[in-house]
């Protein structure tokens, strides 16, 4: 049986994965038939580079995806494309109808992904701005404390000098 699965690479605690088509009996990082992409879960959102046509080809020829790869393929729309293609093969709909449905789905998905990227970027800039504001408040408070300390230090010697000058006179 042929499986589409992940093969780990990358250093300790910084894993990246290759998406490979391999015999089910071969080890996780061992021999594979074809590398069809990469998956990096460390980024937000996870970066997926995949040869969609090759993944679709292997799915249609009976390759079984692992659970993680099934989720990745669903995210990319390849599982939906397979579902539509099976409907076309059975005569439930035409190829043109299937292409239109897939294009609409992809457009909606891209908008959703872009919204996620925008929200992550906005939250990062908001956090950076809040951190900068907090740092500037602390800096201003320190500057004010130093200024007050300097005023007290400047006023104290003047007070000491004045009483010392009276007894001499």
3-class secondary structure, 42: coil
In a domain, 167, yes or no: no
Q: What's the pTM?
A: 0.70
Query: What is the structure's pLDDT at 46?
Result: 86
Using alpha carbons only, give the angle 84, 6, 34 rounded to the nearest 5 degrees: 75
Structural domain range at position 86: 2-93
Are 32 and 75 contained in the same domain?
yes
Query: What value does the mean pLDDT take over residues 5-10?
Result: 93
Q: Indicate the DSSP class of residue 46.
A: P
Alpha-carbon gap, residue 36 to 160, rounded angstroms: 84
Residue identified by tokens 């007290």 is 152
In a domain, 117, yes or no: yes
Per-residue model confidence as pLDDT tens digits over 66-85? 999 999 999 999 999 999 99
Confidence of residue 157 (pLDDT cuts 50, 70, 90): low
**How large a percentage of the chain has pLDDT more than 70?**
92
Average predicted confidence (pLDDT) for the chain: 89
Q: Categorise residue 61: left if φ over 0, alpha if ψ from -120 to 50, beta otherwise.
A: alpha
């Amino acid at each position: 049986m042929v499986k589409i699965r992940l093969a780990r690479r990358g250093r300790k605690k910084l894993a990246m994965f290759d998406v490979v088509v391999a015999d089910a009996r071969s080890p996780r990082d061992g021999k594979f038939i074809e590398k069809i992409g990469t998956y990096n879960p460390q980024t937000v959102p996870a970066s997926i580079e995949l040869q969609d046509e090759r993944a679709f080809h292997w799915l249609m020829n009976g390759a079984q995806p692992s659970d993680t790869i099934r989720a990745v393929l669903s995210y990319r729309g390849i599982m939906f494309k397979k579902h539509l293609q099976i409907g076309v093969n059975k005569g439930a709909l035409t190829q043109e109808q299937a292409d239109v449905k897939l294009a609409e789905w992809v457009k909606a998905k891209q908008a959703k992904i872009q919204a996620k990227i925008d929200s992550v970027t906005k939250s990062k800039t908001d956090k950076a701005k809040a951190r900068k504001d907090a740092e500037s408040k602390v800096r201003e408070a320190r500057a004010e404390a130093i200024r007050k300390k300097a005023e007290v230090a400047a006023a104290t010697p003047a007070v000491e000098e004045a009483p010392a000058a009276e007894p001499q006179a």
